[in-house]
Structure 1
């Protein structure tokens, strides 16, 4: 049976100003950080649909019924406003469904949700991700802080397995490569803490209605997940098993 996942986010545009004395010029560069995750899931038998943030703003599905075409929806480094404020609503005052509520209802009806950490997920830098108090938080197995929830660890910090019996970490060694940061989240009382980073949760799994959700507090690619992590032999297994579990498999 085909496993289908929709990944939204993991893209950015950098606009630079180059000042050279009296004169200046600008350059713009577009980049994506999904390739490690996408490759891992495809190796694990997943059919991956990827919507960069600027595409998801317009094309992300509107309703739980639309989302039901996918076994899992994965949000990574994409702020709540990108999904909440469709361009037609923002520029033309068009009434459209609340896509954050649609994701929540999709999970309640049996879908799978994964949120991956970053500067624009959970609360993120300057709390600009804005998922705290949203319908997404209802469906997640974690509580989200109101403020900037980043924990930067430029010195490197080692993840540790908290529940070695959980299917998400089956077959993985106890020694994981370092991470360089994460979002500070708290497991809800009925959720399962699967892995830690420092004194905080790294992977939390839980149920919501008929569906499942997983929070991964760090990144799936650079910069918080440096080359040793994305090139780690356990990387593919971790992400495949994490999404398999979210899908109820």
Structure 2
């Protein structure tokens, strides 16, 4: 079954300052991290729409009708502020739409939501992702920490698979390549934890109303997901494909 997937986030702008003696100048670059995930899902026949991070505040779907164009919504390395603070709200102090409330209602009505880890996922770097303070928190199969939730694993660590038979893992066999970090969360009683990292949830899924939600608490691209994981491992497409297909029902 072909699913239509919206991926919000997974892009950033980097600005560097170059200092050469008494002179300095700055350069800027635009980077996307979505390509491994996009390739994996499109390779399984799904239709993928990528909404880069800088467009999320203005263009993320704001109501059930707009969300109805998709079967699965993926939030990856994009904080709650970017979804809540549309330009008219933040810059003009004009009431707008409650997009996280709309997303919650869409999942409850049968949609599928996946949150992927990163510095601006879950609670995130210096707690700036801030999803714990939003209505979307209750949709996730995990409970979020009130503080910076990142766990850096510079030496790498391998996932421990608890439910290899669950369809959301795509039938992956054998050892997973090491990951370099993740967001620490706590599983809800209603959740199925399919894989762990350092004994914390890595992949967890749950039902929410008539819909489904899932988390992958590490990254889908570098730096937490090094190239042996997201480019060289054939299990990458099977895991993310399995999660999306389970979410789509």
TM-score, length of structure 2 as denominator length: 0.97
Map of 2:176 onto structure 1: 176
Identify the residue that residue 234 of structure 1 maps to in structure 2: 235
Q: 1:21 offset after TM fit, Å?
A: 2.0
SS in 2 for 1:39: helix
Q: Which residue of 1 aligns with 2:210?
A: 210
- How many aligned residue pairs are there? 248
- The question of whether the paired residues in 2 share the 8 Å contact of 1:110 and 1:212 is answered with yes
Rounded Cα–Cα distance in structure 1 between residues aligned with 2:166 and 2:133: 28
Bigger shift: residues 216-225 or 1-10: 1-10
- Give, in angstroms, the shift of residue 228 of structure 1: 0.5
SS of 1:163 mapped into structure 2: coil
Deviation at 1:171, TM superposition (A): 2.1
CA distance in 1, matches of 2:143, 2:162: 18
Question: What is aligned with 1:245?
Answer: 246
Correspondence list, 1:148-163, <5 A: 148-163=148-163
Q: Contact (CA 8 Å) 2:78, 2:121: kept in 1 or not?
A: yes
SS at match of 2:91: helix
Q: CA–CA distance in 1 between the matches of 2:185 and 2:64?
A: 26
Q: Post-superposition shift, 1:64?
A: 2.0
The CA RMSD measured in Å over matched residues stands at 0.9
Q: By how many angstroms is 1:2 displaced?
A: 3.6
C-alpha contact (below 8 Å) 2:169/2:240 kept by paired residues? no
2:195 maps to what in 1?
A: 195
Q: Are 2:38 and 1:56 aligned?
A: no
Residue 66 of structure 2 corresponds to which residue in structure 1? 66
C-alpha distance in structure 1 between counterparts of 2:66 and 2:209, whole Å: 18
CA distance in 2, matches of 1:132, 1:21: 46
Superposition pairs of residues 68-147 of structure 1, within 5 angstroms = 68-147=68-147
Contact 2:164–2:173 at 8 Å: present in 1 too? no
Residues 13-41 of structure 1 show CA distances to partners (whole Å, capped at 9, x for unaligned) of 11111112211100001100000000000
**C-alpha contact (below 8 Å) 1:160/1:174 kept by paired residues:** no
Asked whether the equivalents of residues 170 and 243 of structure 2 are also in contact (C-alpha less than 8 Å), the reply is no
5+ residue gaps, structure 1: none
How many angstroms apart in 1 are the aligned matches of 2:143 and 2:133? 9
**How far did 1:65 drift?**
2.3
Helix, strand or coil for the counterpart of 1:31? strand
- Per-residue CA deviations over 1:149-185 (Å, capped at 9, x if unaligned) read 0000000000111112211124211300000000001
CA distance in 1, matches of 2:118, 2:136: 16
In 2: Cα distance, 1:49 partner to 1:32 partner = 14
- Partners of 2:241 and 2:56 lie apart in 1 by 23
Deviation (angstroms), 1:94 = 1.9
Could you tell me how far apart the structure 2 residues matched to 1:10 and 1:18 are?
26
